[in-house]
């Protein structure tokens, strides 16, 4: 089936925009020092963003000329307020078994890209092997198989990686629930899996999802997200009012020039969801980048609920909310080279909500350094901003929720957009 241009999924766009009326904050701008402020994103012109501060909006002056420009050099991220990807791929790909103009699959790469694609016939003459696909802009690209992390089809019903039988193997889940581990040698209209029992060739229509045992790679210097959940790596950004021109980076997704694929694509401002980019200070990573936290109940409680971590794939840069049910402590391993930590705290609503929150860094020699502490309570102190430098050699950060004025009762504390700044050479 030929699809010169795939339909842009509208459900995800409506999820992002339905609750955002004109004149309301739509995004958060994060600066090189990890400061975060809510803004209404208005446009992009060359190397600058046009925004309206949330403070102006809240003051009821949205119609006044309060727009201002922010140079991209002052921004490490423009993040939409909310998720940009549904957990169920059918919201993008359509129902399983239905052939229409929607894309075939979602491809995620080891460096953080996510593409809606029409999978094309594999070309055995290309070595090392690649996945040939037509992306939602119409361009035909080659994605090195060694750079693919996961692929999901409408059969999958979820965007959760497949677990192989043994570490180091690729895993393919079929629509009937079977899972095969082995080495995925080719992906196109069919998937070729090399196993101990011989090669398996299966039509892609039978595959629900697959996960390759490729190691994660550092993200591209700049990632661009659209409102339909696509995330692309970019070498450079340019453009004019109302339109951004993205020069595709060649790290994982290479335009096939022989098939007329342009290296540059245009994105209207209305379709732009967010930007994540490196800076001279470092790159932005979520607090959970090092894996799930360890946790334990604090004094006065025999047990505690596990921290509620965000569905990382649903949030740009993984910056979804983390919820802790105190009294408890939770500890995250930090990447090498982490220099700064920031988050915005929000206590559960309720007249009796009360707790004390402390963040502690542990350095390589085992020493602990208190970073920040404050009491939260219902009323005017329900929220607090945290933005602190990390001591050299930080290996982990612990959030401790201690009992407040009403004893060791459970109080939920949300860590909004908990984030780290990782300097050059960080993992």
Range 176-179 contact pairs with CB under 8 angstroms and sequence separation of 24 or more: 176/206
Distance CA 199, CA 217 (A): 29
Stated pTM of the model: 0.81
Q: To which H or E segment does residue 186 belong?
A: strand 179-187
Same domain, 243 and 171: no
Q: Which of 158, 181, 211 is the last residue of a domain?
A: 211
> In the listed set 280, 313, 329, which residue is the last one of a domain according to the structure?
280
Report if residue 40 sits inside a domain: yes
Query: Is the domain of 77 the same as that of 115?
Result: no
Tally the domains of the chain: 3
Quick one: 240 and 323 in the same domain? no
- C-alpha span between 374 and 254 (Å, rounded): 49
- Domain shared by 294 and 414, yes or no: yes
Asked whether the beta carbons of 183 and 129 are under 8 A apart, the reply is no
Query: Where in the sequence is the domain holding 19, given as residue range(s)?
Result: 10-84+221-280
In this structure, are residues 414 and 356 in contact, taking their beta carbons and an 8 Å threshold? no
Assigned token pair, 376: 């939260």
288 shares its domain with 202: no
Same domain, 67 and 104: no
Residue 168: per-residue pLDDT: 87
- Give the CA count within 13 Å in the CB-facing half-sphere of 391: 18
Q: Quick check: is 36 in a domain?
A: yes
pLDDT in single tens digits along all 427 residues of the chain: 333 344 434 434 444 444 445 568 889 999 999 999 999 998 887 788 989 987 655 555 555 547 889 998 899 999 988 776 655 666 677 666 665 667 788 899 988 888 888 888 888 778 888 999 888 767 788 888 999 999 998 777 777 788 877 788 999 999 898 999 999 999 999 999 999 999 999 999 899 999 999 988 877 788 888 887 788 888 777 777 777 777 776 656 765 554 555 567 778 888 888 999 887 778 899 998 888 899 999 877 888 899 998 876 678 888 999 999 989 999 999 999 999 999 999 998 877 888 999 999 999 999 999 999 999 998 778 999 999 999 999 999 999 999 887 777 778 999 999 999 998 644 4
Q: Are residues 130 and 229 in the same domain?
A: no
Establish if 69 belongs to a structural domain.
yes
Say yes or no: 70 and 185 in one domain: no
């Amino acid at each position: 089936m030929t699809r010169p241009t795939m339909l842009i999924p509208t459900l995800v766009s409506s999820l992002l925009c339905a609750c955002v009326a004109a004149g309301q904050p739509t995004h958060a701008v994060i600066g090189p020092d990890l400061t975060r402020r809510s803004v209404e994103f208005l446009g992009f012109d060359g190397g600058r963003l046009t925004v309206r501060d949330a403070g102006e909006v809240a003051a009821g002056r949205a119609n006044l000329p309060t727009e201002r420009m922010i140079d991209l050099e002052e921004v490490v991220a423009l993040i939409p307020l909310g998720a940009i990807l549904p957990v169920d791929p059918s919201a993008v790909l359509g129902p399983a078994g239905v052939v229409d103009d929607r894309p075939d699959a979602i491809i995620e790469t080891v460096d953080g890209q996510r593409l809606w694609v029409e999978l094309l016939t594999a070309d055995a003459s290309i070595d090392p092997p690649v996945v040939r696909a037509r992306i939602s802009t119409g361009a035909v690209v080659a994605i090195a198989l060694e750079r693919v992390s996961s692929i999901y089809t409408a059969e999958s019903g979820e965007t959760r990686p497949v677990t192989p039988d043994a570490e180091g193997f690729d895993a393919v889940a079929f629509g009937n629930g079977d899972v095969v581990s082995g080495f995925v040698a080719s992906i196109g209209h069919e998937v070729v899996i090399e196993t101990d029992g011989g090669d398996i060739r299966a039509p892609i229509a039978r595959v629900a999802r697959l996960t390759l045992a490729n190691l994660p790679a550092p993200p591209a210097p700049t990632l661009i997200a659209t409102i339909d959940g696509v995330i692309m790596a970019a070498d450079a950004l340019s453009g004019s009012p109302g339109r951004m021109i993205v020069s595709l980076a060649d790290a994982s997704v290479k335009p096939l020039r022989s098939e007329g694929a342009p290296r540059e694509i245009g994105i209207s401002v209305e379709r732009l969801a967010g930007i994540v980019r490196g800076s001279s200070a470092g790159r932005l990573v979520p607090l959970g980048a090092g894996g799930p936290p360890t946790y334990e109940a604090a004094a006065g409680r025999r047990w505690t609920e596990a921290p509620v971590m965000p569905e990382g794939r649903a949030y740009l840069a993984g910056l979804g909310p983390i919820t802790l049910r105190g009294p408890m402590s939770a500890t995250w391993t930090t990447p090498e080279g982490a220099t700064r930590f920031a988050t915005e705290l929000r206590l559960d609503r309720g007249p009796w909500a009360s707790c004390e929150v402390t963040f502690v860094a542990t350095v390589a020699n085992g020493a602990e350094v208190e970073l920040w502490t404050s009491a939260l309570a219902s009323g005017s102190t329900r929220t607090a901003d945290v933005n602190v430098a990390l001591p050299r050699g930080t290996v982990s950060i612990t959030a401790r929720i201690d009992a407040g004025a009403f004893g060791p009762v459970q109080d939920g504390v949300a860590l909004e957009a908990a984030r780290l700044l990782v300097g050059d050479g960080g993992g």
